[in-house]
Structure 1
Amino acid sequence: MGDQEFKNAVKTTLKTIGGKWKPVILCFLKEGVMRFSELKREIPEITEKMLTQQLRELEQDGIISRKVYPQVPPKVEYSLTEYGQTIQEVLDVMYKWGRQHQKRIREKA
């Protein structure tokens, strides 16, 4: 694989699922369907505005789906799309690297 091709693919991945919150959101949605309020409760550090923005971007990229139920108050559920489920491999690699990095930090302390 060419060096530039590799860099471009990594850039595309980071543009789609990178940042502080998208990987965290995806980790929760890989467990199953969640409502907005459940995601907010699980990620208390994120603002509602940021959560809304990140969910919209993931939906636009076809990673998650948003299902709105016509009721009052509105009920909205988020889940990984079939395509979004392919992100599991990336999350697994991030998990393995993160565990190794945590171990390294503990050993240096």
Structure 2
Amino acid sequence: MIQNRLDKDMLLQMDSTAQYGMGQHEDGSVWSTDEALADDNPWNTYVHKGLPAGPISNPGRDAIGAALNPEPGIGSTLSRSTLIRVNRCSRPTSRITKRRSRS
């Protein structure tokens, strides 16, 4: 979504950027105030096109550790061809599961 909007020279309109510029990000709320959405701060992507002036967050120690040392089987990336194979293999199983759940 972000790249598509950048390619079309659109506003990104990400609440997190509006909240950050107003200092409203620390309470964990996903809702932005009307004041934050209209504020002309350099991070506000409701007002300014393109990426914000700088990062609005940094990953914590746990997130960095998980990225550097992923647990086996968690967070793996599938190519399109692999995903197609996985979907083909899972279809019969899902049908069987649905039939059993109806009984």
What's the TM-score bracket when you normalise by the shorter of the two chains? Answer: under 0.3
Q: Point out which structure has higher relative CO (alpha carbons under 8 A, 6+ apart).
A: 1
TM-score by length of 2: 0.27
TM-score by length of 1: 0.25
Q: Which one has the bigger strand percentage? A: 1
Q: Which one has the bigger helix percentage? A: 1
